[in-house]
Structure 1
């Protein structure tokens, strides 16, 4: 379990804003292969560029976010607008009506495949991670109890959890209600959106 109050707050790579890192994966001591964070965007700012990295952003809170680039403007509208784009693209984030928070998934192109879903959580859900893959669940709203033990860890809105599989398949059960973002990260190219 990854409680929201444990996320590390740090400056953006270019120093233009703040982010709270949820998790990252990669070789020990090396550069990350994937990274998940929550961007805090209070004023128009240039996003950091990441060569060889793909990104997907989901609006978590606020009145909307305009992503401006040479290819045009994409608006992330409430409640949970989203957009996938290459990290080399020069993007400027412009809050539409006050500060916003955006879920930010990044992965190294060609090394990691990433698929992101927005799903309701109603009752029980089991995440199955195939060998070598990782699932990340970010609880957007509601509550969920993790595992089958008593009492089990409780996820509140804003908390996350990881299911990592080594050489063998791994699984984790959740019971609860609310909304979640689910990211599947695995070696190889990205899956369907």
Structure 2
């Protein structure tokens, strides 16, 4: 497992100037077209979201007063509760509105037909399964994975190796909550 701290991940500004992305992992490494990708996005202002044809996305609010995602004729969804995932097709042209100002989201993207993903809010022990990849992001409290203690804004990610990483990720405090993204190959 690969530990990370969001605040130490380099932030790359969006082309439209509306935010910045901190990449957690993108697989396969160095590939022109990712199979799956996890990142943290800081959304600074209202504006369009980039389309990602052939990709399924799950966005989860981490902090801020929310983000309203709209796609004409498809949906109008306000993500207002931290830790509540929302999945949608990356093929869609979306607009984002920030009713209460800037916010931060976890963005998980998987190449349709090659990977599927589920994102769940968890409060108990979780363990990666053999052949799966994924991310655990700590929302609050303290968690333990191997020799690493994790707190809010930290986490771990892992590749879909043939063997599951050893051990579970376990909560260490009564207020512990995390996002568990399970990324599964389809073929």
The two structures have a TM-score, normalised by structure 2, of 0.87
2:83·2:179 contact (CA, 8 Å) conserved in 1?
Answer: no
1:162 paired residue number:
157
In the aligned structure 1, how far is the partner of 2:18 from the partner of 2:84?
Answer: 23
Distance in 2 (CA, whole Å) between partners of 1:186 and 1:55 is: 14
**Structure 1 counterpart SS, 2:35:** strand
1:137 matched to which residue of 2? 136
Q: How does 1:17-28 map to 2 (within 5 A)?
A: 17-26=19-28, 28=30
Q: 1:83 aligns with which of 61, 82, 86?
A: 86
Tell me the SS of whatever aligns to 1:22: strand
C-alpha distance in 1 between matches for 2:34 and 2:15? 13
Specify the SS of the correspondent of 1:2. strand
Structure 1 unpaired stretches of 5+: none
Count residues in correspondence.
181
Query: Unmatched 5+ residue regions in structure 2?
Result: none
Structure 1 residue 14, shift from structure 2 partner: 5.4
Aligned Cα RMSD in Å? 2.0
8 Å Cα contact 2:116-2:186 kept in structure 1: yes
Shift in CA distance, 14/49, structure 1 to aligned 2, threshold 3 Å: farther
Q: Is the 8 A contact 1:59 1:102 kept in 2?
A: yes
TM-score, normalised via structure 1 length: 0.84
Q: Where is the strand percentage greater, Structure 1 or Structure 2?
A: 1
CA contact (8 A) 1:14 1:48 kept: no
Say which of 86, 105, 108 aligns to 2:108. Answer: 105
Q: Secondary structure at the match of 1:5?
A: helix
Counterpart in 2 of 1:128?
A: 128
